[in-house]
Amino acid sequence: MAAAARFFIRGANSKLPITGIGNGSQSSFGGTLVKLSPSSNSRTKTQRRHAHFTFQPDPERTQYVIFGEDVAFGGVFRCTVGKDRVFNTPLCEQGIVGFGIGAAVAGATAIAEIQFADYIYPAFDQIVNEAAKYRYRSGNLFDCGSLTIRAPWGCVGHGSLYHSQSPEAFFAHCPGIKVVIPRSPVQAKGLLLSCIADQNPCIFFEPKILYRAAVEQVPVEPYTIPLSQADIVQEGSDVTLVAWGTQIHVMREVANMAQEKLGVSCEVIDLQTILPWDVETVCKSVVKTGRLLISHEAPITGGFAAEISSSVQEECFLNLEAPISRVCGYDTPFPHIFEPFYIPDKWNGDQPGKDTLLTIQSGSSIQMGSMSPLCLAS
Amino acid sequence: MMAAVKSMNKLYGVCVHAARRTAGLKASRLFQHRAFRVGAVQRQQPFDSSLEKPQFPGASAEFVDHLEFIQPNVISGIPVYRVMDRQGNIIDPSQDPQMTLLNTMDRILYEISFYMTNYGEEGTHIGSAAALDPEDIVFGQYREAGVLMYRGFPLDMFMAQCYANADDLGKGRQMPVHYGSKDLNFVTISSPLATQIPQAAGAAYALKRENMNRAVICYFGEGAASEGDAHAGFNFSATLECPIIFFCRNNGYAISTPTNEQYRGDGIAARGPGYGMLSIRVDGNDVFAVYNATKEARRRAVAENQPFLIEAMTYRIGHHSTSDDSSAYRSVDEVNYWDKQDHPISRLRHYMTARNWWSEDDEKSWRKQSRKTVMEAFERAEKRLKPNIELMFTDVYQEMTPNLNKQRDAMWRHMKQYKEHYPFELFFQ
């Protein structure tokens, strides 16, 4: 919770009141949900200036009660716990993760927070060499399965190099951990509770641009959403769009644009878990649509789209009617003033969508193949 | 500034003095509390603008009106606590620990020295392990086999791990000497140095919350103490008030790097007070000194929920590892001095001989017997098959993932086709 407070203080455009933070009466988990709660509703409009997507509440999942002001920094998700359960640590990421591993090894359920995903690298050794390998190397004598690492993730409009990164691909190359990214409050709660309950060390990346923008109805009672299962957000027949986190909302808009302007039916899939990822759902979809576009904010080279693309190509070679398209960030550090030009926004995504339509109409797969998404983005 | 120096010296003095007060001496409760408070008050002074003293929240100190840098005290460092001299004589009888321990200690001490590359550091393992509760969790580096031995880890299990045979609890996945035992609360060793230090702090925190009077001990070498994780672990355990003993084996070398290339302060012990940790330096070749310091640190760590730092001065008599020839960077004379004149085992032998608890005959028969036991375990381990190849894929996650299932199946298909190119006969089928 206190780490969350630091985020609010450091996030330049945050206007959330921070009263009540640091009273030590909330779990980290409560803090997360508070961040995603509608208490910030009134602020969202002022931030749309930077928004490159529009958040769409899921109409099928509105049967649950809404978080209100009465739950901000307390209420239904507040755990009345002692100071020994929620506490500040010294400012040291390798220490935070190492400490969390140790607590988990000794049997505690440890939920560690790294202030920004950009600052997770000092803990890379503890995550990759230690957390991920604990069970394997000890022959299952010891494990740190009850460890969850949360970290704000993704671009935020003005975060520049060190408040914008999407480091999931670095971790996707590491057997032994799970990497999970939600797209909205409902998924955030369900997936986070799954991560906490899962008997493997999990990294839970929270798209921080959604902390204030995303508002939807979230069930009060605990529920879980299974890990390693992609979610078909929208069914379609002409092309499969795969993304995760904030980018799902971009893909939905792309799907709408493609439908309206080009009459193309897009299937939108939220991968949700990066590692181990749901190969089956994605491949089934591509077998049906014959086309795949993957999009992520992170740089394209070595990004996780490469892994998906390569796997789908192996599994669905006979079904693919066009080269798989990757619409990603450029291979540069994440810039400050150039952010609107950097991110793979809906216009980037829409162009391959258009090409897909042309492909479908002309019955040729050559056109899309000739268009590099990176060229299109300029 | 002088005041600061003085108070620092005082703090050192307090540490040494406090740790010297062994359980046998029945140190006064009041004294301990004061010693603890000194650090605590210095860290967190309440704001009071009426006082004519600095009100900076970051430190509690007086103003000083002349410029003076604090000089590190490396020439005359923190003294080395010892109980018996090189001939095994107890220097101060009040420091002599309970005698009943001796037999066990001795036997185990002798046993290890035959086959482990822990030469010269046996005293640190046994002395500290004997002072712990069996329920205390041990995080080690890779030169603490004596601790496991003291806790009763069977020879066959040591061998199974080194041979990576089917009996290995680690399922043959790690390099030799990376032991672990759940039953004996000895957390599996890993190669990356110092990673266990903040982990040990986290485990100690979990134990504190359990409130079951358990502590954690975390061993590391003086080289590993240079890692960032050491800094993290010390600082976390102090600020989060963890019942932990940091046990540094300062044996003078990190592979070929001598300590003067490792640090320029007064060893590792001098860093403790900087983190607000009670610290002591002991003679690592003196099992009783190690035992006394650990015993007292353990008692107070659990009672007061605070970390302790023990720096055991010793000498790495053996090579760093089998792939290292230490004569390339240090003199034979130096090694011989420690091997022949100041060795933990010979010191203990002197002590026991002087009390008629040990004789030349005992020595001979014990050597013969332990050599035989070790050789038998060796042969048994050598003959055992290696674990089933399936075990390459399990325990990556708690569950088998579809991806891993697929890869395992692919491996078996491949193996069936090209079986003759792989050492199948060595593995359980």
Q: Which residues of A touch B199 (CB under 8 A)?
A: 98-99, 101-102, 105, 126, 130
**Cα of B403 to nearest chain A Cα, Å:** 8
Helix (H, G, I), strand (E, B) or coil at A103: helix
Q: Do B263 and B336 fall within a single domain? A: yes
Distance in angstroms (rounded) separating the CA atoms of residues A243 and A249: 9
Cβ contact, residue pair A106, B202, below 8 Å:
yes
Look at phi and psi of residue B204 and say left if phi exceeds 0, alpha if psi is from -120 to 50, else beta: alpha
Q: Do B311 and B397 fall within a single domain? A: no
Q: What's the pLDDT band for A83 if we cut at 50, 70, 90?
A: low
Q: Given this model, what pLDDT does residue A374 score? A: 30
pLDDT of B36 above 50:
no
The correct CATH number of A2-213 out of 1.10.290.10, 3.30.950.10, 3.40.50.150, 3.40.50.970 is 3.40.50.970
How many CB pairs below 8 Å do chains A and B form together?
Answer: 155
Cβ contact, residue pair B198, A200, below 8 Å:
no
From B224, B220, B207, B265, select the one nearest B246 (Cα to Cα): B220
Helix (H, G, I), strand (E, B) or coil at B173: coil
Q: What is the pLDDT of residues B355-414, one digit of tens each?
A: 888 888 988 888 888 888 888 888 999 999 999 999 999 999 999 999 999 999 999 999
From the candidates A138, A143, A149, A279, which should be mutated to test the interface with B, based on the most B CB atoms within 10 A?
A138
Does residue B36 or residue A270 have the better pLDDT?
A270
Return the CATH number of the domain spanning residue range A231-367.
3.40.50.920
From B237, which residue of chain A is nearest by alpha-carbon distance? A99
- pTM metric for this prediction: 0.83
Distance in angstroms (rounded) separating the CA atoms of residues B145 and A70: 57
Q: Which residues of B touch A103 (CB under 8 A)?
A: 202-203, 205-206
What is the pLDDT averaged over residues B60-83? Answer: 88
Cβ contact, residue pair B198, A145, below 8 Å:
no
Distance in angstroms (rounded) separating the CA atoms of residues B17 and B25: 12
Q: Do B255 and B377 fall within a single domain? A: yes
Within a domain: residue B222? yes
**Cα of A282 to nearest chain B Cα, Å:** 14
Closest residue to B236, CB basis, from A89, A108, A136: A89
From B164, which residue of chain A is nearest by alpha-carbon distance? A139
Q: In sequence order, which residues have a C-beta less than 8 Å from that of residue A23 and are 6 or more positions away? A: none
What is the pLDDT averaged over residues A83-109? Answer: 87
Closest residue to A98, CB basis, from B181, B216, B229: B229
Q: Given this model, what pLDDT does residue A80 score? A: 34
Q: Tell me the two tokens of residue B199.
A: 């982990």
Q: Do B313 and B397 fall within a single domain? A: no
Q: Given this model, what pLDDT does residue B116 score? A: 54
Q: Which helix (H) or strand (E) holds A201?
A: none
Judge whether B107 is closer than 8 Å to chain A, CB to CB: no
Does residue A369 or residue B260 have the better pLDDT?
B260
pLDDT of B166 above 60:
yes
Q: Which residues of B touch A128 (CB under 8 A)?
A: none
Chain A residues 100-119 within an 8 A CB cutoff of chain B? 100-108, 110
pLDDT of B205 above 60:
yes
Within a domain: residue B253? yes
Cβ contact, residue pair B232, A99, below 8 Å:
yes
Does residue B211 or residue A27 have the better pLDDT?
B211
**Cα of B80 to nearest chain A Cα, Å:** 30
DSSP for A206-217, written as a single string: EETTHHHH----
Q: Do B276 and B394 fall within a single domain? A: no
Distance in angstroms (rounded) separating the CA atoms of residues A183 and A270: 8
Q: Given this model, what pLDDT does residue A168 score? A: 98
Q: Given this model, what pLDDT does residue B236 score? A: 94
Q: Which helix (H) or strand (E) holds B421?
A: none
Q: Which stretch of A52-66, B97-111, B205-219 has the lowest confidence by average pLDDT?
A: A52-66
Cβ contact, residue pair B199, A98, below 8 Å:
yes
Q: Do B103 and B252 fall within a single domain? A: yes
B50 is catalytic: no
Q: Do B198 and B158 fall within a single domain? A: yes
Judge whether B226 is closer than 8 Å to chain A, CB to CB: no
Q: Given this model, what pLDDT does residue A16 score? A: 32
Q: Do B376 and B403 fall within a single domain? A: no
Average pLDDT, chain B: 83
Q: Do B377 and B397 fall within a single domain? A: no
Q: Compute the C-alpha angle A357/A181/A376, nearest 5°.
A: 30
Structural domains counted in chain B: 2
From B169, which residue of chain A is nearest by alpha-carbon distance? A139
Judge whether B63 is closer than 8 Å to chain A, CB to CB: no
B210 is catalytic: no
Q: Given this model, what pLDDT does residue B319 score? A: 74
Phi/psi of residue B52, nearest 5 degrees: -85, 60
Q: Which of B191, B327, B359, B365 is catalytic?
A: B191
Does residue B305 or residue B364 have the better pLDDT?
B305
Could you tell me the CATH number of the domain that includes residue B148?
3.40.50.970
Phi/psi of residue A86, nearest 5 degrees: -130, 120
Q: Which stretch of A56-60, A287-291, A325-329, B194-198 has the lowest confidence by average pLDDT?
A: A56-60
Cβ contact, residue pair B202, A140, below 8 Å:
no
Q: What is the pLDDT of residues B268-280, one digit of tens each?
A: 999 999 999 999 9
Q: Given this model, what pLDDT does residue B304 score? A: 96
Within a domain: residue B79? no
Judge whether A276 is closer than 8 Å to chain B, CB to CB: yes
pLDDT of A336 above 80:
yes
Chain B residues 238-257 within an 8 A CB cutoff of chain A? 239-240
Distance in angstroms (rounded) separating the CA atoms of residues B144 and B122: 8
Q: Given this model, what pLDDT does residue A54 score? A: 59
Residue B420 lies in domain: 389-426
Judge whether A19 is closer than 8 Å to chain B, CB to CB: no
Q: Given this model, what pLDDT does residue A340 score? A: 92
From the candidates A136, A227, A281, A315, which should be mutated to test the interface with B, based on the most B CB atoms within 10 A?
A136
Establish whether this prediction's ipTM goes over 0.90. Answer: no
Q: What's the pLDDT band for A69 if we cut at 50, 70, 90?
A: very low
Q: What is the pLDDT of residues A156-194, one digit of tens each?
A: 999 999 999 999 999 999 999 999 999 999 999 999 999
The DSSP symbol for A64 reads S
Closest residue to B195, CB basis, from A98, A141, A200: A98
Cβ contact, residue pair A103, B240, below 8 Å:
no
Can you state the angle between helices B360-383 and B155-163, rounded to 10 degrees? 40
Cβ contact, residue pair B233, A100, below 8 Å:
no
Closest residue to A87, CB basis, from B170, B229, B240: B240
From A177, which residue of chain B is nearest by alpha-carbon distance? B397
Q: Do B259 and B407 fall within a single domain? A: no
Chain A residues 298-337 within an 8 A CB cutoff of chain B? none
From B163, B235, B223, select the one nearest B427 (Cα to Cα): B163
Q: Which residues of A touch B401 (CB under 8 A)?
A: 228, 276
Judge whether A124 is closer than 8 Å to chain B, CB to CB: no
Judge whether B178 is closer than 8 Å to chain A, CB to CB: yes
What is the pLDDT averaged over residues B198-227? Answer: 94
B181 is catalytic: no
Q: Given this model, what pLDDT does residue A9 score? A: 30
Q: What's the pLDDT band for A354 if we cut at 50, 70, 90?
A: low
Cβ contact, residue pair A135, B401, below 8 Å:
no
Note if the bond before A276 is cis, omega within 30 degrees: yes
Cβ contact, residue pair A176, B397, below 8 Å:
yes
Closest residue to B188, CB basis, from A84, A142, A145: A142
Distance in angstroms (rounded) separating the CA atoms of residues A330 and A23: 42
Within a domain: residue B297? yes
Q: Given this model, what pLDDT does residue B350 score? A: 87
Within a domain: residue B184? yes
What is the pLDDT averaged over residues B320-346? Answer: 79
Closest residue to A141, CB basis, from B182, B192, B216: B182
What is the pLDDT averaged over residues B309-313? Answer: 96
Do B218 and B251 meet the contact criterion of CB atoms below 8 Å apart?
no
Q: What is the pLDDT of residues A33-48, one digit of tens each?
A: 333 333 333 333 333 3
Distance in angstroms (rounded) separating the CA atoms of residues B26 and B423: 62
Pairing of strands B244-250, B278-283: unpaired
Number of H helices, E strands in chain A: 16, 10
Q: Do B269 and B360 fall within a single domain? A: yes
Q: Do B409 and B394 fall within a single domain? A: yes
Does residue B258 or residue B194 have the better pLDDT?
B194
Judge whether A226 is closer than 8 Å to chain B, CB to CB: no
Q: In sequence order, which residues have a C-beta less than 8 Å from that of residue A18 and are 6 or more positions away? A: A5, A8, A9
A163 is catalytic: yes
Q: What is the pLDDT of residues A229-245, one digit of tens each?
A: 999 999 999 999 999 99
Q: Given this model, what pLDDT does residue A322 score? A: 94
